[in-house]
Amino acid sequence: MSKLVGAVAIAGGGIAGIQSAIDLASSGLKVYLIESSTTIGGKMAQLDKTFPTLDCSMCTLSPKLAEVARHPNIELMTYSEITGITGEPGDFTVTVKNKATYVDYDKCTACELCVSKCPVKVPDEYNEGQNNRKAIYLAFPQAVPRVFTIDADHCLYLNKGKCGNCQKACENDAINFEDTDKEVDINVGSVILNTGFEPYDASNLEQYRIDHPNVVSSLEFERQLSSSGPFEGHVTLADGSHPRRIAWIQCVGSRSPEIGRNTCSSVCCMYATKEAMVAMEHDLDLETTIFNIDIRAFGKGFEEFYQKAKNEKGIRFINSRPSGVEVDPVTDNISLKYEAEDGSGIKREEFDMIVLSIGLTPSDSSKNLAKIAGVEMDDNDFVKTKIDHPLETSKPGIFVCGAMQAPKDIPDTVADASGAASKAASLLSSERGNLVTEKKYPPEKDMGDEIRTGVVVCRCGINIGNIVDVPDVVEYAKTLPHVVLAKEEVYACSTDSLEGIADLVREHNLNHMVVASCTPRTHEPLFRETLMEAGLNPYLFELANIREHCSWVHQNNKEEATKKAKDIIRMSVSRANLLQPLYQEKLEFNKDALVIGGGIAGMNAALDIAEKGFKVTLLEKESELGGMLLKFTHLQDGRTTKEVLEPIIQKVESNPNITVHIETELTEQEGSMGNFKGHIKGANVDEDIEFGVAIIATGANELEPEGYFSYGEYSNIITESQLEQKLDEGVDAKNVVFIQCAGGRNDERPYCSRACCTVAMKNAIRLKESDPDRNVTILYRDIRTFGVWEELYTKARELGVVFMRYTEDKEPEVSEKTVRIFDHLMNMDFEINYDLMVLSAPMVTPETNELLAPMFKVTLDANRFFLEAHIKLRPVECATDGVFLAGTSQAPKLVDESVSQASAAASRACTILSRDFLETIGNVSVVDPELCIGCGRCTLVCPYNAPELKEVTVETEEIVYITKKSEINPAVCKGCGCCAAECPTGAITARHFTTPQIMAVIKAYGEGI
């Protein structure tokens, strides 16, 4: 490679692009995030809740949106698309077309004045066309960038030359009808493709009658559930009433080879279950039914979620695929015809609303982008990758992640995204920090002894100014304690006003500042930066929210709104007067990594970190590297595990940055991120070790299914891994029966083990291909060959593998040569002869998890896998900083998923290792040792284990004694302040939200009422 450019272009601003961008930018690379719509956020921004925890989607997403918006190393290119990619790894030229927005992004303050004046109504894409937006619009309130765009297809002025109302309404001169499309070339070292998926267009399947107003797509239904949706969270029929009976039809546009959609979409079973559950929370009397082929609850916590939906919430799951929706020509009522599960024949049932669970399909723009990038696609139009290299496209330097590679859910997409970032960062590791510029601020000025507070009251155009009597409020503000100056601005956040605020600080020697305008959740960072430019500490700023909390919610009561604005400002000034400058402490730290577990995940994680120039110690407790894969002989793509393991073991062993210790375990461990200290003990080593980050890749094992289906009683009953060893030698059995979920999905192990259906399919195919006359039968509860592995299921059926469903309450009965199974559809027992029986047993956790978890102060879940920090958006991190998860230590997964997650863990770990210092947050809590009585309450309430009781010797005039005092580790504290509220002696100060500050606000409240 002749030249390396320390920048990466990311195509697609959904959750995948966002995660890749944050990882890369935090590792010191410049990022161009290119998104075709007006905002980043992607499909996740449209979701109401996320399964299986029913977290609010936007609540977890919007902090990430804000992080991208603020990140100095990320250049956002929205309303843009890639039109060309040339060059080679390390040095690509990407041509980007920026569409004209007709709004000057530097001038638009998103005040919304234009919106009410725009006469054009356009179906709102955000709500799936179920209500209208205007031709000038913000996609949704949390959109990033937070600026308006004119929809050129619908704008009256742009199409007919008349109107121009928005231009007249805009008080900041932001509308520019002369705007044009622009094309720019950017120079980058790597490209990441993640333009995601497109929901399947159900109008292609006429039998499902999406044209009927009460038949909706699952995404339309999702918007209906959302409180920010078209009906404020109330599910609504065409006549305005609310449904009593709702049915979901699964696999619309998925698992349908007859229309060329071969794959399973991986997410629909869970989102339908979630939608039914949330709808029932809104309306307790609702009856919900989900028609399905199989319920694919294969991810972490999914099976438990499904069982809860079925057994506790009363959602009806019917194993049948209705052929279509029937509409009564007279009443217009809708009904479904389906085959009853109990074998009683065809039934018809009427519903008020039918939701079509539409699948994830590759979008046209994704296909086009893949063509521009020149990367190979598979037969289903997903970008082609290999199981052991799931993030690498056919073109070096170009990586892929998320639903562009295969249908997948949010956590897998997020893990992929971090993984792809790791691959790009490895390629460009020598260029870290070269293209990023750090913003320099003037030194902080001397605060002086006198509190001098300034107040700026914003009119926000007419948003505040028309409701609140701003001049009156300004006069009032001047009377408040320590206020030396108060004035009004039309838009406090416009570029010239911000400069004006900085000038005020300088000219009037202000040392505290209050701006009364909008919410700190969006605007505080902007004003804080202004203070820094004026030489003031950013923590000396306070926002008084008189828009969202006042003028917008009291539009018909100007007098009360004005009084409330005064109260809010008085309370804010009282707080501002007590604010203290706070500093982020810089701490030196250890930049080595420890990886525990030498399976495919641990090895990949170690390599990804080592390739970025950091030292890694890799521990393996067995006598060779390879982990669980050593027990299996083949991958589901036909290659042998040896083919995959050998090159990576060779790479790990020859990498000078990796030290491998086999037959070695971690025996002791303490400390926190950047400063871990432990002890390792093994065959050839017995020493102390120090490291900055740790990756837990301790894997899982196949259960010995003792006690299930006569395993252990007869020698011809074996597990999948035993079958694979046998298959290499040749199997002569003529009748082979598989039983799925042998020891899984039961009370003892309520989880689904995710991989077993695909593994069984792979082995059934090998059995059939090696001897087509052999009878192969698979007894199953649900076939869960999700995503592209659905094609293996199709192939197995084509080869003549017989599938029979059983239920947990009527399990197959196994004797030495026969198995008895009850068939629900036929309503009778069958007896099947077998020579060989194969049990698909779940993955179970190693006992060492119980030792590791307390050492790292991390948590195990109910199934004893390691618990991630957030099930959707932080899938490879532990809640304890600096500790990461890779592979099956977190949950059962397939090889490609383990590899991708290993890269993800490495990426997240390297965002820490790439820093020059560890920086604390400013508002950490601190303990006053004089007041601390060592009770330890704080250590019990802190979710991050930041406070620690330490032994100290106290010397007073009378006595010397040893006691315990709490100390808060500033590197770990997140500033929630819970400890301060718990501390019985007031020894803990929650900085920036101190007791005196909060009490002053309460007192100021009382002064004005």
Output the DSSP codes for 231-277.
TTT----TTS---SEEEEEEEETSSBGGGTB-S--SSHHHHHHHHHH
Residues 6+ apart with CB under 8 A from 212: 325, 327, 332, 334
Q: Among 59, 346, 851, 954, which residue interacts with another protein (rule: CB under 8 A)?
A: 59
C-alpha 840/C-alpha 632 separation (Å) is 13
Closest to another protein by CB, 542 vs 897, is 542
Closest to another protein by CB, 255 vs 872, is 872
C-alpha distances out from residue 86 to 91, 93, 398, 423, Å: 9, 5, 11, 19
Q: Among 331, 556, 684, 953, which residue interacts with another protein (rule: CB under 8 A)?
A: 556
Q: Among 519, 640, 807, 833, which residue interacts with another protein (rule: CB under 8 A)?
A: 519
Is 281 an interacting residue with respect to another protein (CB under 8 A)? no
Q: Among 191, 514, 531, 568, which residue interacts with another protein (rule: CB under 8 A)?
A: 568
Closest to another protein by CB, 518 vs 644, is 518
H or E element that contains 900: helix 895-913
C-alpha distances out from residue 654 to 24, 166, 270, 614, Å: 27, 64, 43, 15
C-alpha 904/C-alpha 886 separation (Å) is 8
Closest to another protein by CB, 855 vs 879, is 879
Is 545 an interacting residue with respect to another protein (CB under 8 A)? yes
Asked if 687 and 600 count as a contact pair (C-beta separation under 8 A), the reply is no
Is 280 an interacting residue with respect to another protein (CB under 8 A)? no
**Rg, Å, the chain Cα set:** 31
Closest to another protein by CB, 821 vs 869, is 869
Range in contact with another protein (rule: CB under 8 A) among 88-96, 325-333, 361-369, 561-569: 561-569
Q: Among 1, 3, 63, 650, which residue interacts with another protein (rule: CB under 8 A)?
A: 63
Eight-class DSSP state of 502: H
Q: Give the three-class secondary structure for 142.
A: coil
H or E element that contains 470: helix 470-478
Q: Among 84, 164, 233, 671, which residue interacts with another protein (rule: CB under 8 A)?
A: 233
C-alpha 24/C-alpha 299 separation (Å) is 27
Site of tokens 């998103």: 110
C-alpha 902/C-alpha 593 separation (Å) is 13
Is 862 an interacting residue with respect to another protein (CB under 8 A)? no
Eight-class DSSP state of 618: E
Q: Compose the 689-728 pattern: x for residues touching another protein by CB under 8 A, - for all others.
A: ----------------------------------------
CB of 213 to another protein, least distance (A): 24
Binding positions for another protein, 966-1005, rule CB under 8 A: 974-978, 980-982, 990, 993, 995, 998-999, 1001-1003, 1005
Cis geometry, peptide bond prior to residue 52 (ω within 30 degrees of 0):
yes
Q: Among 327, 451, 587, 879, which residue interacts with another protein (rule: CB under 8 A)?
A: 879
Instruction: Say how many residues touch another protein, by CB under 8 A.
Output: 60
Q: Among 7, 15, 29, 58, which residue interacts with another protein (rule: CB under 8 A)?
A: 58
Q: Compose the 937-956 pattern: x for residues touching another protein by CB under 8 A, - for all others.
A: ----x-xx------------
Closest to another protein by CB, 24 vs 561, is 561
Is 223 an interacting residue with respect to another protein (CB under 8 A)? no
Closest to another protein by CB, 177 vs 552, is 552
Asked if 637 and 621 count as a contact pair (C-beta separation under 8 A), the reply is no
Q: Among 20, 27, 62, 698, which residue interacts with another protein (rule: CB under 8 A)?
A: 62
CB of 974 to another protein, least distance (A): 6
Closest to another protein by CB, 274 vs 774, is 274
Q: Among 557, 640, 667, 827, which residue interacts with another protein (rule: CB under 8 A)?
A: 557
Range in contact with another protein (rule: CB under 8 A) among 290-298, 367-375, 552-560, 711-719: 552-560
Closest to another protein by CB, 56 vs 69, is 56
Q: How many CB atoms lie within 10 A of CB 338?
A: 19
Is 561 an interacting residue with respect to another protein (CB under 8 A)? yes
Range in contact with another protein (rule: CB under 8 A) among 376-384, 399-407, 475-483, 516-524: 516-524
C-alpha distances out from residue 739 to 606, 731, 819, 836, 841, Å: 37, 18, 10, 11, 9
Asked if 582 and 629 count as a contact pair (C-beta separation under 8 A), the reply is no
Is 163 an interacting residue with respect to another protein (CB under 8 A)? no
Eight-class DSSP state of 787: G
C-alpha 544/C-alpha 1001 separation (Å) is 12
C-alpha distances out from residue 775 to 213, 649, 692, 721, 734, Å: 48, 38, 55, 20, 6
| Closest of 2, 6, 9 to residue 95, by C-alpha | 9
H or E element that contains 951: strand 947-955
Q: Among 106, 173, 211, 232, which residue interacts with another protein (rule: CB under 8 A)?
A: 232
**15-26 and 895-913 helices, crossing angle to 10°:** 40
Closest to another protein by CB, 58 vs 693, is 58
C-alpha 915/C-alpha 37 separation (Å) is 33
| Closest of 37, 20, 109, 35 to residue 73, by C-alpha | 20
Q: Compose the 127-156 pattern: x for residues touching another protein by CB under 8 A, - for all others.
A: --------------x---------------
Binding positions for another protein, 918-937, rule CB under 8 A: 923
Is 563 an interacting residue with respect to another protein (CB under 8 A)? yes
Closest to another protein by CB, 71 vs 570, is 570
Asked if 249 and 289 count as a contact pair (C-beta separation under 8 A), the reply is no
Q: Among 36, 172, 194, 226, which residue interacts with another protein (rule: CB under 8 A)?
A: 226
C-alpha distances out from residue 116 to 113, 143, 341, 980, Å: 6, 19, 54, 46
Q: Among 1, 3, 53, 471, which residue interacts with another protein (rule: CB under 8 A)?
A: 53
| Closest of 127, 128, 172, 129 to residue 148, by C-alpha | 172
CB of 766 to another protein, least distance (A): 44
H or E element that contains 843: strand 843-844
Q: Among 88, 475, 560, 637, which residue interacts with another protein (rule: CB under 8 A)?
A: 560
Closest to another protein by CB, 369 vs 550, is 550
Helices (H) and strands (E) in the chain, counts: 25, 52
Range in contact with another protein (rule: CB under 8 A) among 91-99, 282-290, 305-313, 515-523: 515-523
CB of 995 to another protein, least distance (A): 7
Is 777 an interacting residue with respect to another protein (CB under 8 A)? no
Is 105 an interacting residue with respect to another protein (CB under 8 A)? no
Q: Could you give phi then psi for residue 623, rounded to 5 degrees?
A: -90, -5
Closest to another protein by CB, 112 vs 811, is 112
Range in contact with another protein (rule: CB under 8 A) among 55-63, 277-285, 303-311, 766-774: 55-63
CB of 643 to another protein, least distance (A): 43
Is 55 an interacting residue with respect to another protein (CB under 8 A)? yes
Output the DSSP codes for 261-318.
B-S--SSHHHHHHHHHHHHHHH-TT-EEEEEESS----STTHHHHHHHHHHTS--EEE
Range in contact with another protein (rule: CB under 8 A) among 24-32, 550-558, 628-636, 701-709: 550-558
Question: Interface with another protein by CB under 8 A: which residues?
Answer: 53-56, 58-60, 62-63, 141, 226-228, 232-233, 519-521, 545, 547-550, 552-557, 560-561, 563-564, 567-568, 571, 879, 923, 941, 943-944, 974-978, 980-982, 990, 993, 995, 998-999, 1001-1003, 1005-1006, 1009
